[in-house]
Structure 1
Amino acid sequence: MRQTAVFGFLAATAFAAAAHAEDAPYEGDPNWSMRALLGYSKTGGNTDNSAGNALFHVAHVWNDWKFLFGTEGLYGSTKGETTAQAFTVHGQANYNFTPKFYGYLGAGYSDDRFSGFAYQDALTTGIGYQIYNDDNTKLTVQGGVGYLWLRKEYLVKDDIGGVIERLDYDPNTGIPYEQEHSVAFNGAANYEHNFNASTKILAGVGVLSSKDNTRTNATVSLQVKMSTHLALAAGYQIVSNSSPPAGSGKNDSLATLSLVYDMKNPKLAPE
């Protein structure tokens, strides 16, 4: 039931835009916006590390509706052994009551293989407000309630951080990890500002808080345009879980340098 509800909503959001569009989006279409990001690093010699990250966000407006879909991935290895692996997918459908005030329904799935959580899934609903939405500055805030499903796991790691074994119980107490589910508060803010024609900053924060765990995801990125569609971006992300299982830390951080491809218009940011 959990996966059916979450993935059903995500699939509906992802394909809603295509269902309402007669043709593929063209250059300058005011109803479409897309952002893709790809980064990779490799070190050799005394150290042997590889890391890659990817992001894809798309937004589409149809009448009073706005559909948002996004997915992010991360992979890292040390000496050929996986030491980081995460995947998230999320979707949201906004209905505009006024040009600035909207209601939303959303869903998200998070699978971070090194966080101590086997999964964290959520269905959300609430209201939002566009505080700023001009050519240079965009700021949107939203908040509401939803439902969160999660399951913890105990990670047994080796000296370089690779996972040797995943346990579905706490070895310190012998108590098994069951699926936890509860009502949750959700809130988010997204900000974008153009300093000039080639440089802008993007920042966002999202909170999902229940009696079982509070997950906070904050990102900031400085983007410098190289051409009409291509840019370089330096970013930083921190993900915090208030109640991780035994053996796992509360905070994970990620610094990236990535190539960005944008197909967008100045009035529609893919939050």
Structure 2
Amino acid sequence: MKIARLAGAIAALGLALQSGAALAALPESVRAMIDAAIATGDETKVRTVIDLARTTNPADSAELDAIIAAYDVQLAEAKAAAAAAKEQEVRTAGLFENWSGKGEFGAFRATGNSFNTGITAGLTADRQGIDWRHRLTARVDYQRANGVTTREQFLARYEPNFNLSGNVYVYALGQYERDRFQGFLGRYAASGGIGYQVFNADDLKLSVKAGPAYRVTEFTDGRSESRIAGLAGVDFDWNITKRLTLTQDTNAVAETGGSAVAIIDSRNTTLDLITGLNAAISSKLSARFSYAVEYDSNPPPGAVQTDTLSRVTLIYDF
């Protein structure tokens, strides 16, 4: 609707210019060409047409200058009105409005010397406000080999952050994990701290954050442990081409992007590192290959320190 209003405003400008006295000296064909370009709402096309008109009608440069000056004023007003309407829409949006996200699913099966089946599923949802951003993340990995469950991992995370000024923001984080094969039935973490957006271009985004954390772990042997820790993270997204994206995103544990999350305490350090490569299939669908490393410096008895997992999945944007 906003694009339509912008196109309408520019079209109205074209009609006004067409009837103005300032265009009297321009040939009808040139005038019609400029009006048609303005009516499309394509700024690049308008400027290209007027540049061509200058070349073919050098004597009318002053009139063409007046046209482009009026066009710039009208365009700025239309953009300002659209931006104000968008801001008002965001400010008045309900709790369940303005959410966007990605759903991900992958599966595999092997037969022969062994019989393996596995699934991986993930979901990330974001709600972007004027100063606030909310992110919900969930991931499930499940695998059976020769009739025995060999992987059963669940993760859920909620992270709101608030923009302080410029590239600086503060964040809060609540996280739940379950992985009985790594020795814990539940691991809960809460953190809050400060972050900085190093790069925020359309094709390159990088942010870092750090803060204290508090973690509670419930082990499979019945023990429970609570500790104060620290959290550090790096979020990275690089659009290599229009169809190929490399991701290394902190806290994006559901693999809409890669992730690198480190939680450190004096007794145990854990690191989740997920690197992904996304290839667009269509505007809504993409294929993804990712490689995950999960490191636990002091795992429960019988568990190893490092797990790795490769995934091939499909992602749907909504």
Instruction: Report the TM-score, using the length of structure 1 for normalisation.
Output: 0.77
- Are positions 1:246 and 2:301 aligned together? yes
Partner of 1:157: none
Q: In the alignment, which of 207, 217, 230 is matched to residue 272 of structure 2?
A: 217
Displacement after TM superposition at 1:23 (Å)? 8.6
Q: Give distance in 1, aligned partners of 2:242 and 2:144.
A: 37
- Are positions 1:188 and 2:233 aligned together? yes
- Are positions 1:133 and 2:200 aligned together? yes
Q: Give distance in 2, aligned partners of 1:24 and 1:183.
A: 34
Name the SS of the counterpart of 2:182 in structure 1.
coil
Q: Give distance in 2, aligned partners of 1:23 and 1:213.
A: 38
1:91-136 deviation per Cα after TM superposition (whole angstroms, max 9, x unaligned): 1110100131101111100101211122211110000011111110
Q: Which runs of 4+ in 1 moved over 2 A?
A: 19-25
- Are positions 1:22 and 2:78 aligned together? no
Partner of 2:101: 34
Name the SS of the counterpart of 1:146 in structure 2.
strand
C-alpha spacing 1:118/1:211, structure 2 compared with 1 (3 Å): farther
Displacement after TM superposition at 1:230 (Å)? 0.4
Which residues in structure 2 correspond to 1:129-168 (within 5 Å)?
Answer: 129-153=196-220, 167-168=221-222
Gaps of 5+ in 1: 1-18, 26-30, 154-166, 169-176, 264-271
Q: Give distance in 2, aligned partners of 1:245 and 1:22.
A: 45
Q: Give distance in 2, aligned partners of 1:151 and 1:242.
A: 17
Q: Could you tell me whether the CA contact under 8 Å between 1:137 and 1:193 is conserved in 2? A: yes
- Are positions 1:198 and 2:277 aligned together? no
C-alpha spacing 1:57/1:20, structure 2 compared with 1 (3 Å): farther
Q: In the alignment, which of 156, 159, 165 is matched to residue 98 of structure 1?
A: 165
C-alpha spacing 1:221/1:41, structure 2 compared with 1 (3 Å): same
Displacement after TM superposition at 1:58 (Å)? 1.0
| Cα RMSD (Å) | 1.9
Q: Give distance in 1, aligned partners of 2:134 and 2:281.
A: 28
Q: Give distance in 1, aligned partners of 2:171 and 2:286.
A: 31
Higher helix share: 2
Displacement after TM superposition at 1:78 (Å)? 0.7
Q: In the alignment, which of 169, 172, 177 is matched to residue 110 of structure 1?
A: 177
Partner of 2:116: 49
Q: In the alignment, which of 49, 53, 75 is matched to residue 142 of structure 2?
A: 75
Displacement after TM superposition at 1:198 (Å)? 0.5
Q: Could you tell me whether the CA contact under 8 Å between 1:182 and 1:211 is conserved in 2? A: no
Q: Which amino acid aligns with 2:301?
A: A
Displacement after TM superposition at 1:247 (Å)? 1.0
Q: Could you tell me whether the CA contact under 8 Å between 1:148 and 1:210 is conserved in 2? A: no
Name the SS of the counterpart of 2:139 in structure 1.
strand
Displacement after TM superposition at 1:183 (Å)? 1.1
C-alpha spacing 1:20/1:66, structure 2 compared with 1 (3 Å): farther
Partner of 2:312: 257
Q: Which amino acid aligns with 1:228?
A: S
Q: Give distance in 1, aligned partners of 2:96 and 2:195.
A: 29
Q: Give distance in 2, aligned partners of 1:185 and 1:253.
A: 23
Q: Relative contact order, CA 8 A, sep 6+: which one is greater?
A: 1
Q: In the alignment, which of 148, 155, 171 is matched to residue 88 of structure 1?
A: 155
C-alpha spacing 1:113/1:237, structure 2 compared with 1 (3 Å): same
Displacement after TM superposition at 1:20 (Å)? 6.9
Gaps of 5+ in 2: 1-90, 249-258
Q: Give distance in 2, aligned partners of 1:22 and 1:181.
A: 37
Q: Give distance in 2, aligned partners of 1:24 and 1:110.
A: 25
1:173-229 deviation per Cα after TM superposition (whole angstroms, max 9, x unaligned): xxxx3x111211001111110111100111121011123321100000111000001
Percentage of matched positions with identical amino acids: 26
Instruction: Report the TM-score, using the length of structure 2 for normalisation.
Output: 0.66
Displacement after TM superposition at 1:44 (Å)? 1.7
Displacement after TM superposition at 1:32 (Å)? 4.1
